[in-house]
Amino acid sequence: NPSMDAPATIGGTAFSNGSGVLGVNQGAGANNQMANAMRISISAAPQAVDDSALSQQNVALLPNSGATGTPNGSRQVVTSDQAFTGSRGVIQVNQSAGVGNRMANTLTIRVTD
């Protein structure tokens, strides 16, 4: 099997002093699905983030994409301890260094009047 290194890094002061809604999806690998979803509503009835919001990305696997063995190499995700420093608001982060991962961050805020 060929060697494969898959690093996913958010380094230095990336995304520092951000404000509002910040969504980051970072992948190093194959066939990963990631979603950041946020909903704010003003109503008397609750609303949820349903499957239609989470299914905004579909990954079609190639016929030859199945692993035939474990390749040599490393898979690593790193987030700097200075990244996102001073940021305020909603911060949603997905990092993946691998194959076939599904990740979602969801936030629903409902304000009633």
Tell whether the model's pLDDT for residue 3 goes beyond 80.
Answer: no
Residue 67: per-residue pLDDT = 56
Exposed/middle/buried for residue 53 (C-beta within 10 Å: 0-12, 13-18, 19+): middle
36: tokens are 């950041």
Give 86 or 40, the one with higher predicted confidence: 86
Tell whether the model's pLDDT for residue 35 goes beyond 60.
Answer: yes
Residue 17: per-residue pLDDT = 96
Residue 80: per-residue pLDDT = 92
Confidence at 85, pLDDT banded by 50, 70, 90: very high
Considering only 5-14, 15-24, 98-107, which range has the smallest mean pLDDT?
Answer: 98-107
Boundaries of every domain in the chain: 6-57+72-111
Residue 12: per-residue pLDDT = 94
Residues 96/76/22/58 CA torsion (nearest 10 deg): -10
Give 56 or 85, the one with higher predicted confidence: 85
Distance CA 77, CA 96 (A): 6
Tell whether the model's pLDDT for residue 47 goes beyond 80.
Answer: no
CA 45 to chain centre: 29
The fraction of the chain above a pLDDT of 90, given in percent, is: 32
* Residue/partner pairs of 60-69 with CB below 8 Å, 24 or more apart: 61/31, 65/30, 65/31, 67/99, 68/1, 69/1
Contacts of 11 (CB under 8 A, 6+ apart): 78, 80, 83
